[in-house]
Amino acid sequence: MWSLSGAETPSFQIQVPDSLQVPTTVDRDLIKIGEEIKLGITVEATLQDLVVFPEQQTMGAMEVINSYPVDSTRVADKIKLFKQYGITQFDSGDYWVPQLKILKNSAQLYSDSVLVSVREVVVDTTKQKLFPIKDSMELETNVPPDYSWMWWLLLLIPVGFVVFALSRKREKKTYEETLQPYEWTKYRLQKLDEKGLLENRQWKEYYTELTYILRRYIDSKVYGHTLESTTDQLLRELKIAMSEKGMSITQNTERALEEILRKADLIKFAGAGGDAISAKEDRNRTNDIIYNIHQVLPPPTEEELMQDARYRRQQELKRRAKKVAIGIAAGVVLLCAAAGSWIYVDGWDEVKDQVFGNELRDLYEQDWITTTYGVPAIQLTTPDVLVRNDSISLPDEIKNAVALFNNFEYGEWEDPLMVQVATMNFQQQLPEDLKADAFMEPLIVNMESEGASNIVMLDNEIEINGNKGIELAGTLDHGGDEYQYVILLFAKAGGLQQVMIVVEKDDEEEELREYGRLILERIEQSIEIKIPAGLESKKQPGA
């Protein structure tokens, strides 16, 4: 609570503003709910004067439904400007149209406050027939369908195709690598048949692939340097290696192996030709050679079996890791596409608020509560109910003059919104014209004691529901954040009412997203001063 705690007692003096009043008229002061009242303001000026009439959506509790063009009448060397507003209210009751500020050059003019009454529409059921409530009707909308989502679908199709193609390619490669040498030769010979090299008479390519399959099998099972050896070296070293391992193949197999290798060398390096019949025979002989070598291989040792099992396990882990990576990549792509679609449809600001949160927006869009606080009573609408705080102690010089003190609070300094309401009922009647200078310095001192800095405070005269007061508004820094605040002071019904609203300053480019300013204005516009019925006659409307 900042109000008067720890500050010098302010002196209350009647202060007469220098601004002038302008004639204000209404076409009627009693209407039914929703009917229009025409409020007229007349300003006398010269041809050189600049006059600016206010344009606003509400006038106190009244809603502005029309703002008519300015009409002018010339009288001698002066003109009379007549501005008319159409206002109404949709709740029954008595309402004060507050003073409106008109700018005339550098001077400020104020209109008179006007009391209007709004009555409910009385329905005579003896003359007016009553009918049952009609069923709801569904109206056909002519809004064209939005096909923007199709662009995102077209973007996802090629992305999905690329992911699918890469996945298939990697799965095939992984399958071939996990095959045992003997199964691998069967797989590659089958693929060689499917390539159609014989039909296209591509002898060199055919025999290159055929001898590669044969050499690689021998390299993996018998002689480890088969791939880089010449034909003569291979035939010589193969006999030595097979002898060392206790292996032997028939002479027909050795002769067939030599014939295929030498024939392949002639076709690959000497440019010799071939024919399909002998090529198919060579393919079958290669299959028989591999089979014969496979049959005479010694059984694998325990160490070889362990290495083979470890290899298979490593390949399986690699295959799983690749699948997981592809799945993650596809998920990231889909997530980015979904996020892009969301941003495209709702906008970045909406997505940012939904994902990261926006406390001021949540406060502004939640259901608000209207409550009356203190004596003399003051009513306002806030996001939540203010809580009584009796821990505030007044200075002795003020406590002796106060008969009743109430203090209510919502939020703290660290919160994006803080609202405080304080009411004091003095033992003696206070003048209703408050002096801003008496409050500014004590309030600034109390703000600084709460940790505020860089305080900017401007004063202004206001009127709410026909009750005059002062407004102290500006900005301040606290905890590294910038805030804007409004302090409203009224002296009514023998007491003092104070409303303080502190809200975190917005950093938004769009006015509709300045939720801090919108919250502050909404609370300020909801304030009503509740004067007891016995003191209503003492209230002086107008200037």
Q: What pLDDT, in 10s, does the model give residues 29-74?
A: 999 998 999 999 999 888 888 999 988 888 888 889 999 999 989 8
In this prediction, residue 540 carries a pLDDT of: 42
In this prediction, residue 139 carries a pLDDT of: 63
In this prediction, residue 2 carries a pLDDT of: 43
Q: What pLDDT, in 10s, does the model give residues 250-277?
A: 888 888 888 888 888 888 888 888 888 8
Q: What pLDDT, in 10s, does the model give residues 469-498?
A: 889 999 999 888 889 999 998 887 667 888
In this prediction, residue 403 carries a pLDDT of: 67
In this prediction, residue 26 carries a pLDDT of: 92
* Element of type H or E holding 379: strand 377-382
Same fold for the pair 21-119 and 359-530: no
- Residue 513 DSSP class: G
pLDDT classification of 542: cutoffs 50, 70, 90 = very low
pLDDT classification of 77: cutoffs 50, 70, 90 = confident
* pLDDT over 70, % of the chain: 80
The rounded mean pLDDT for the chain is 80
pLDDT at 535 over 50: no
pLDDT at 193 over 80: yes
Question: Average of pLDDT values for 415-419?
Answer: 90
Q: What pLDDT, in 10s, does the model give residues 345-355?
A: 767 777 777 77
Domain range summary for the chain, segments of one domain joined by +? 21-119, 179-296, 359-530
In this prediction, residue 264 carries a pLDDT of: 87
Cβ contact 446:5 at 8 Å: yes
Query: Cα angle vertex 410, ends 407, 414, to 5°?
Result: 120
CATH superfamily of 359-530: Mog1/PsbP, alpha/beta/alpha sandwich (3.40.1000.10)
In this prediction, residue 375 carries a pLDDT of: 73
In this prediction, residue 115 carries a pLDDT of: 92
Label residues 399-435 b or e (16+ Cβ within 10 Å = b).
eeeeeebbbbbbbeeeebbbbbbbbbbbeeebebbbb
Q: What pLDDT, in 10s, does the model give residues 83-110?
A: 999 999 988 889 988 888 899 988 889 8
Q: What pLDDT, in 10s, does the model give residues 294-307?
A: 888 877 666 666 76
Fold of 21-119: Immunoglobulin-like (2.60.40)
User: Does 10 sit behind a cis peptide bond, omega within 30 degrees of 0 on the bond before it?
Assistant: no
In this prediction, residue 342 carries a pLDDT of: 73
